[in-house]
Amino acid sequence: MARFNRSDNGRIVSIAVGEEYLDNAQLNELEQSIREWARDSKREDVRLSRLSVLLIFLLIRYTGAKLNEVLSLNLYKDIDWTHHAVVYRVDGKKATEPREVYISESLANEIKDKIDTLKSHKNSERLLNLDPGFVRRKFYERAQACGCPKRLSGPEAIRKARGVELMQSNIPLPVVQMILGHSTPNLTSSYVAFSKDEIQSVAKRFVEKESGRKTSARNCFFGKVTNIVKGDIQTRVEMSSLEGYSIITVITNDSLKRLGLSPGRLITAEVKAPLVILHGGDVSSACSAENRVSGMVTKITKGEVNTEYIVKISETTEICAVVSSTRSSPFELNVGDWAWALFNCSSVVLHVD
């Protein structure tokens, strides 16, 4: 498997050590503050202006776009309601190659309802034609109203916070870069090549999963099937993630048929945290676990029953392991230590669209 270089500091967003940004809870608080403010007016003109600010916030919050990109949107033409994608065509005053960013179906429906309200009162393709300074002031005001730091609540800071949020959700770096409009990195470290359409497909899966999570699994890998070995009863399936991690699982032949798996098929592999085994050191121990990844311990949360370990294996991927707090531990791990995360092929659950 790929090994995360401890000195690798490449990031999709520029965040210096110790730099602050709004976390997920704060982003949600700010969103709720803007939503309540947008509803709280009896004057129609004021309500429409606030509705426009709310739409701008939602687009920056969930697509990671720049303020000038959002203000340049033609809401009659630049949102694909069938595929739930926002198409950004302008960066500042110059046209750029169109960039599609997927949003969840529920968010797309909400945005469509709000746009229809604006359309019923405005006869303009530029429904979000607001002064950038006005938008920033309203973001700052709502941040102060809900207790969020003003300096972290401007449009640029919200975009940066979205990038961090995506990375902390274990979204592969190429997907984060595509969402934010950065050039994608060289994927030669991967075992297989991923096309632009495949990276977009992973992005679409994530936003839908983010809006309505239906699994308790903490560890997710996005990738494609690279090899299938079918036996009499069970089948061995190998996949490669977008970041080059090779994941092996064994499923029944019935599951192989039901999932419609074949080489090249995009899939998601999930592993529950209690099924991950940890041990420290630079060298992997001799054991029967088919899947092994190494990284740095970044967080340890101790509880009376269980202890949670977070191991960072790349800039955008973390492995969570949960072990018993009462059990005599065969190793001593501290934050900053190098560790191996191991899990058997039988611990991996595969998902397709």
Report the C-alpha gap between 139 and 143 in whole angstroms. 6
Residue 353 has pLDDT above 70, yes or no: no
In this predicted structure, the answer to whether residue 228 has a pLDDT above a threshold of 60 is: yes
Lowest-pLDDT range, 188-192, 243-247, 288-292?
188-192
Please indicate whether residue 194 or residue 17 has the higher confidence score (pLDDT): 194
Residue 291 pLDDT > 90: yes
Measured CA to CA, the distance from residue 250 to residue 276 in angstroms comes to 16
- What is the spatial distance between Cα 351 and Cα 353, in angstroms, rounded to a whole number? 7
Binning pLDDT at 50, 70 and 90, where does residue 7 land? very low
Q: What is the pLDDT of residue 19?
A: 66
Q: Which residue has the tokens 């002064």?
A: 131
Q: CA 269, 10, 284, 239: dihedral to nearest 10 degrees?
A: 30
Residue 33 in this model has a pLDDT that exceeds 60: yes
**Contact, 197 vs 102, CB < 8 A?**
no
3-class DSSP assignment, residue 322 = strand
Q: Which of 125, 118, 145 is nearest to 44 (CA)?
A: 118
Q: Give the tens place of pLDDT for each residue, 182-226.
A: 765 544 344 355 677 777 777 777 777 666 555 556 788 888 899
pLDDT band at 344 (very low <50, low <70, confident <90, very high): very high
Q: Which of 16-30, 265-279, 283-297 has the lowest mean pLDDT?
A: 16-30
Q: Residue 22 has which token pair?
A: 């709004």
Average pLDDT over residues 312-329: 77
What integer pLDDT is reported at residue 10 of this predicted model?
A: 34
Mean pLDDT within 241-258: 89
Q: What digits encode the pLDDT tens for the residues 122-141?
A: 766 667 889 999 999 999 99
Sign of the CA dihedral 9, 14, 16, 17? negative
CB atoms within 10 A of CB 87: 14
Contact 300, 335 (CB under 8 A): yes
**pLDDT value at residue 193:** 59
Between 50 and 16, the higher pLDDT residue: 50
Domains with residue ranges and CATH for the chain: 24-167 (1.10.443.10), 219-270 (2.40.50.100), 273-344 (2.40.50.100)
Cβ–Cβ < 8 Å for 236, 228: yes
Mean pLDDT of 293-315: 88
pLDDT surpassing 50 at residue 253: yes
Find the mean pLDDT for residues 96-103.
85
Which region, left, alpha or beta, applies to residue 219 given φ > 0 means left and ψ of -120 to 50 means alpha? Answer: beta
29 and 146 Cβ atoms separated by less than 8 Å: yes
pLDDT score recorded for residue 337: 92
